[in-house]
Amino acid sequence: MKGRKIAIVGGVAGGASAAARLRRLDEHAHIIIFERGQYISYANCGLPYYVGGVIKDRNELLVQTPERMAKRFNIDVRINSEVEDIDLERKELIVLNRATGERYRESFDKLILAPGAEPIKPPIPGIEKANLFTVRDISRIYALKDYIDKEKPDSAVVVGGGFIGLEMAENLRLNGIKVWLVELLNQVMPPLDFDMAAYLHRHLREHSVELCLGDGVVSFDRDEKQTIVNLKSGKQLKTDMVVLAVGVRPETILAQKAGLEIGETGGIKVNQHLQTSHPDVYAIGDAIEVIDFVNGRPALIPLAGPANKQGRIAANHICGIEDTYKATQGTAIIKVFDMVAACTGNNEKVLKKYGIPYLKSYTHAGSHASYYPGATSMAIKLLFSPDNGKILGAQIVGHDGVDKRIDVLATAIRAGMTVYDLQELELAYAPPFSSAKDPVNIAGYVASNILQGLHPVIHWDDLDKLDRQYTVLLDVRTPAECKATGIIPGAINIPIDSLRERIDELPRDKTIVIYCQVGLRGYIATRMLMQRGFSRVYNLSGGYITYSMAKQGQ
């Protein structure tokens, strides 16, 4: 029985997922994957860890080979085959066989575009002089690793502090290579807000990564042995190699040549079924423009999870199953040495950009019960609506247990839950895994108290705006803690356990800003003063840890 012909351009995450789903739904379809490289379905997100030796065998990166894919799913896998153009009128592809140089036409009934995104390579003067590497596909990572193994470089400059830049910085350090990390913004990891990225800044420096934040590359030069990286600040970095990781852009050349509609963000425009402006052509993965789940605006959010889901949805729709891709919320996580950072939903920068009202809270909680050995602290930043407490975004930085908490919060956002709902979540508890009040519950309690007016807060970046003549800054930690960690300039110290007896030392005609180490004792002191007639009392959200970390990170 002869079936319809479905062509797929791109055989990695979304493309391979679509092909496998199509075969499970339609045994008779003629499915062709065109992949311009020689590998399909490889672990793109694992590439930096091969450089660091965490993944030792390069074959472990190959999730599926062309041979296995062809045999198991009866798919026509054509590697080294670059689709150069699409003839929509005749429904044909113009394909270049990169191994032989031959060009030929291939017809299709349905087409799925999954070309991914390409690394941005800005036209920096002298870039051709640099010993430069990019991280996109498996062949480029093999070349980078082979260079390290053969040449034994002493130093590297990583340009870009996003996911790939951070992972490459870590894995280069695991090779014993000195690393400079250059980032044009004032922070690494742009999906985080600055105050949460500050934890990573300290951690990177503790692992001997030299940060050049708020700085950019203006040109490259070369001497007899090394690449010279000239920065905007005037600083010069002499290095053996440069890894360019300044971001990616959707690969839309093929779609543009075919006359398919491109969205306002520069990605291929698709509908909820992932159809392009031509109903027989679908597009998925990093090349498409999606809708942001929280703010409802078009966005580019290149992540592996959504790409795989989109491959399945496109296949479903082609096979007559009514399925839609609704939106992307940007849930992501990264390991930086032994620290973990994760986010979901919108950050402050995005909420401000679109004028979306929000409140925020900072909490610090243990990964599991403090009395059980090995507990570590995690910082949680929660962003929520001032009207109804609907969760708009969350960011977590810590060590153990970050992954499961961000997944709970990502699920809560997807379900439209509020901070009040977080209080009610019944999450698994035993001392090795959590506390009776999980960190997610704690975040919900704190945010709910803020909304209900029980817990007036002020934030670290508001302190400099206060008129200190009319403000008292009250540190309620112990004198030993103050001595060990320092205090906020101008603060007075009255320990929480002495506050009732010494309450008359506080003026009632001034604003009282209270803080402790993480915010809990500050909250208790705030409630105490509010109920004893003090009318202008605020707790510093996240306490001294959040304040000091953000200040140090500047």
Could you give the residue ranges of the DSSP H alpha helices within 74-162? 138-151
Classify 116 as helix, strand or coil.
Answer: coil
- Fill in the amino acid letter for 370: S
CA distance 504 to 479: 20
Parallel, antiparallel or unpaired: strands 30-35 and 92-97:
unpaired
Per-residue burial over 230-264, b = 16 or more CB atoms within 10 Å of its CB, e = otherwise: bbeeeeebebbbbbbbbbbbbbbebbeebebebbe
Point out the catalytic residue in the list 45, 319, 482, 516: 45
Per-residue burial over 310-333, b = 16 or more CB atoms within 10 Å of its CB, e = otherwise: bbbbbbbbbbeeebebebbbbbbb
DSSP structure class, residue 280: T
CA distance 303 to 328: 9
Residues 6+ apart with CB under 8 A from 489: none
Return the number of other C-beta atoms located less than 10 Å from residue 461's C-beta: 12
Q: If you write DSSP's letter for every residue of 384-421 in order, what string do you get?
A: E-TTT-BEEEEEEEESTTHHHHHHHHHHHHHTT-BHHH
Angle, CA 373 vertex, CA 371 and CA 378 arms, to 5°: 85
CA distance 435 to 375: 10
- Fill in the amino acid letter for 227: T
The secondary structure of 132-181, three-state, reads: EEECCCHHHHHHHHHHHHHHCCCEEEEECCCHHHHHHHHHHHCCCCEEEE
Helices (H) and strands (E) in the chain, counts: 15, 30
Active site residue 212: no
Return the number of other C-beta atoms located less than 10 Å from residue 433's C-beta: 16
Q: With CA atoms as reference, report the closest residue to 112 among 289, 346, 283.
A: 283
- Fill in the amino acid letter for 470: Y
83, β-bridge pairs = 95
CA distance 304 to 324: 18
Using only C-alpha atoms, the chain has a radius of gyration, in whole angstroms, of: 27
Phi first, then psi: what are they for 549, rounded to 5°?
Answer: -65, -45
Classify 220 as helix, strand or coil.
Answer: strand
Parallel, antiparallel or unpaired: strands 217-222 and 227-231:
antiparallel
Phi first, then psi: what are they for 317, rounded to 5°?
Answer: -65, -40
Q: With CA atoms as reference, report the closest residue to 331 among 349, 343, 339, 341.
A: 343
Q: Is the dihedral of CA 369, 374, 379, 380 positive or negative?
A: negative
Active site residues: 45
